[in-house]
Amino acid sequence: MGDGRDEFAGTGARARRALVREIEAAGVLTDPAWRAAFAEVPRHRFVPYYYVPGTDGYERLWSGDPDPGRRDRWLRGAYADTAIATRVRDGELVSSASQPSLMALMLHALDVRDGDDVLEIGAGTGYHAALLSHRLGAEHVTTVDLDEEIAESARTHLAAVGYRPAVVAADGARGCPERAPYDRIVATCAVPSVPYPWLAQCGSGALVLAPLSTGLILLRVRDRTHAEGRFLATSAYFVALRGVAARTPRHGPAGDEHFRFLWGLADQVLDRREALSLWLREGRPERERFGVTVSGDRQWAWLDDPGGPYAWPLPEA
């Protein structure tokens, strides 16, 4: 999909090629179909403005700035391999565009096949839905956002570059039952646990990928009320799904990012000293040793074995 009428088409294409090379060098863009999506979808069209930390709160960069230097800074930032703040209200971050290399890792883990129907929770700018639409066809993509303004903005961005997936303003925790069933569900916002409606809208064998604590849980769905899977190795920090409290640590880490992850899973059950003792005793376990099981109306996080001695109930989203 080309840039169309776009004064930044040439410079955007060059910046996009550089970004693709950077993501490839990180080893997370190995699928040619996803490489083509990142190479062709113009990310700058989805972030006509965004915010960067300034001396007094956030500073706004935008494509129409009369200062050429600031326009160049905006464009370079749009193709940097970093997350960028796209919505700020009353000084608080409301929505952001994820780091492209993390997007690539998540899309690879989603393991889509031609013809798969995908539900995205958290429309954001629409860029992630555009990547999915490029790979699968827009008719196979549904994206949901609670904020009507964000949903409409994503719809506009997508249409401007030729993609028209279903963009729905609704509570992401409830999924989108009118377009179910789904083969894949991917969330781009943090949740305290897996919302049960998501599983009810999946077909048998579907995958669900969602940020939980400071990691990414990948579940294989057995049926409408059962799913299980492990966390990916990578860390992941996302804005919380609005309407629920993200399950993140209440206190800082004990000097290690992996302990912070465990504390985010177990802080409702274990006090900090107990969690730290367990973590040290078990050899400072990394994320991929942890998993989540959903069974009926219960779900729990666990270390090494779903039925083992180390398990912690998760609250409902």
The residues assigned a catalytic role are 95
What is the distance between the terminal CA atoms of the chain, rounded to a whole angstrom?
A: 37
Contacts of 255 (CB under 8 A, 6+ apart): none
Lookup: tokens for 223 = 């049926």
| Tokens at 127, concatenated | 């860029």
Q: Report the Cα 187 to chain-centroid distance in Å.
A: 5
Residues 267-272: contacts with CB under 8 Å, at least 24 apart: 268/312, 268/313, 268/315, 269/312, 269/313, 270/312
Write b or e for each residue in 155-174: b if 16 or more Cβ atoms lie within 10 A of its Cβ, otherwise e: bebbebbebebbbbbbbbbb
* Cα distances (angstroms) measured from residue 208 to each of 144, 184, 192, 205, 294: 15, 6, 14, 10, 12
